[in-house]
Amino acid sequence: MNKLVLQVPGEPGYTWWSLFHLYQALGILIGAIVVGIMIYFIVKYREGKVSESDDIKPGVVPPERGNIRIIVVFFAFTAVVLFSLASYSMFVTSYIERVPDTDDVIQITVVGYQWGWRFIYPNGTEVVGEVTVPLGKTIVFRITSNDVFHKFQLKDFRVGADALPGAYNVIWIKPEKPGRYLIQCYELCGVGHANMIAYLNVVG
Ligand SMILES: [Cu+2]
């Protein structure tokens, strides 16, 4: 199993990786087919094995030589690959972006500022630089900024959102592994940007 997947501590990171693996598998499959056909043609049409009639002659349009069965098979294969990639990409994107709207979520407000992160729990308690959430619960972050543009990134979970003054962007996670996860600012926001970090503690 992929080591990187094992490091993902919960949703939506698992789903993100499933999309990555689909692209990876199809990329390897199609790459193997393309290289295989290239090698086949290099050997089949090597110098000395081609008849005179295949030579291109100036001013003469070559006769139709397409094999309609092969064309149909390749067209269908390409259509299946592209359709599955497009539809699964749309499914994953909407899954990651759709915030669960049940009563069973914990909503935490995140305020970015130069240079740090402030968290406001549902009961109004405010903390800076460190936020603690329970294991196995869906956590919703409402993200905004006090000053300039920032970006709240939970890279272990493969999610993040811009922190913009006067607006709220929303992301969700469902942690499945206890731990201490790094939160970083992913939008250059001034001299303190590199140190604009916080931690997500998952306990349970
Ligand atoms: Cu920042």
Its CATH architecture, for the domain 105-203, is: Sandwich (2.60)
Residue pair 188/21 in contact by the 8 Å Cβ criterion: no
Ligand 1 centroid from CA 9, angstroms: 24
Find the 153 Cα to ligand 1 centroid distance in Å: 10
Look at residue 118 and tell me whether its pLDDT is greater than 70. Answer: yes
Mean pLDDT lowest among 7-11, 20-24, 56-60, 150-154 = 56-60
Q: What DSSP letter does each residue of 159-187 carry, written as one string?
A: EEEEE-BT--EEEEEEE-S-EEEEEEE-S
Segments making up each domain of the chain, as ranges: 3-97, 105-203
- What is the H or E stretch that residue 105 is in? strand 105-113
Q: Are β-strands 138-145 and 169-175 bridged in parallel, bridged antiparallel, or unpaired?
A: antiparallel
- Distance between Cα 179 and ligand 1 center (Å): 24
Q: Is the pLDDT at 4 greater than 60, yes or no? A: no
Q: How many Å is the maximal CA-CA distance in the chain?
A: 84
Rounded to whole angstroms, the Cα distance separating 121 from 201 reads 14
Task: Give the separation between CA 181 and CA 179, rounded to whole angstroms.
Answer: 6
Q: What is the pLDDT of residues 24-53, one digit of tens each?
A: 998 999 999 999 999 999 998 887 766 666
Can you tell me whether residue 51 is helix, strand or coil? coil
pLDDT for the residue numbered 138: 94
The Å distance, Cα 116 to ligand 1 centre, comes to 7
Rounded to the nearest whole angstrom, what is the distance from the C-alpha of residue 151 to the centroid of ligand 1? 6
CA distances from 112 to 6, 24, 106, 146 (A): 30, 35, 19, 6
